Structure 1
Amino acid sequence: MLFDDAYKTIEGTAAGIFRDKGSKFLAYAYPIRSEDEVKPIILKLKAEHGKANHFCYAYRLTPDRSVFRINDDGEPSGTAGRPILNCLLSADLTNILVVVVRYFGGTLLGVPGLINAYKNACLEVVKESKIITNTVNDVYEICFDHLQMNDIMKLVKDENLKILAQQFDTSCSLKFEVRKSHLNQVLGRFEKIDNIKLKYLQTI
């Protein structure tokens, strides 16, 4: 299978709510890029919802969707984090964190009831979110002589590359972003220009 160079995520934060037998399940969705962002978000929600009983969550990270984590936060195992994650899987979203804040309403919902509630809370917040498609891009730096400027700039324009930084002096450098699926074509064209140095920096 070819590497899929696009992924779905959400544009900004969103909120949704699901109620069952007096319990309130407030769902919050956040676009995230790393695991370091999760803890501060949870702490902020705990500060805002001092009387809530549980803060259950799931997140997925990376364009290939390989990183994920679930947390039941005191609910019976498998009744909270897993249904939230399953909802993200079926919506095919990544680089996203969904936290469901539960206020207990006095009536026990039982395992099926909890699974249903956390799933529906997540569905609500996904419905409220603006879903966007991002491409997976590689960032490269190219170093070249001033004399090669025209060739380089023509190629950048032809291939519609996004320039992130540039420095034109006696020796010149450009940092550019290229969509993964176009990479081989672009690198192939650059390699036909003599005396340039190409360096891979990161994938974003």
Structure 2
Amino acid sequence: MGELKKLCVFCGSSLGTSGEYKEKAIQLGTLLAYKGIELIYGGGNVGIMGELSRAVLENGGRVTGVIPQVIYEKVDHVELTELIVVNNMHERKAKMYDLADGFIALPGGIGTLEELAEVMTWYQIGYHAKPIGIYNVNGYYDSLLTFLEHSIQEGFLKREYLDSLITDDVPSSLLAKMEKQEMKLINKWS
């Protein structure tokens, strides 16, 4: 893959039950700033999302938030370098994907899962060849990874798609793996 210049991070608008989620979001944000990687994210300032963006900015990094109009009107979003307001959630995801060189999922809820699943699907059908990482804090995504293994066993997912997914619980190691990952456009139907 090479150097990551802009990284889209999917994460929760809540802090979760463990203080480790907040701590790890701050660690990732600090690392992104240190490495000069711009954060592309959903634009909110609450939960893990807010902790991540503040950590990037407090350490001299750049943050671009992409937010739908309906959320823009309800959520404070002062901790940004750039704010892009779009019409709806579909445009939000498409814009974040277009801006990013790769993707990381931190812990989060249904929205985070949807964003992760969509970039995985887009890779599977050949829309992009960008690295996809899971920052598996406290084993948060272990159940999802078990489900994906089950999907392979049952013939609904090819091994190569899961093998292309990069997982780690150390942010520096995760980023290093993503930068080394050789991604290629694949053809689901071949």
TM-score normalised per structure 2: 0.26
* Structure with more strand by fraction: 1
* Structure with more helix by fraction: 2
Radius of gyration: which is bigger?
Answer: 1
TM-score normalised per structure 1: 0.25
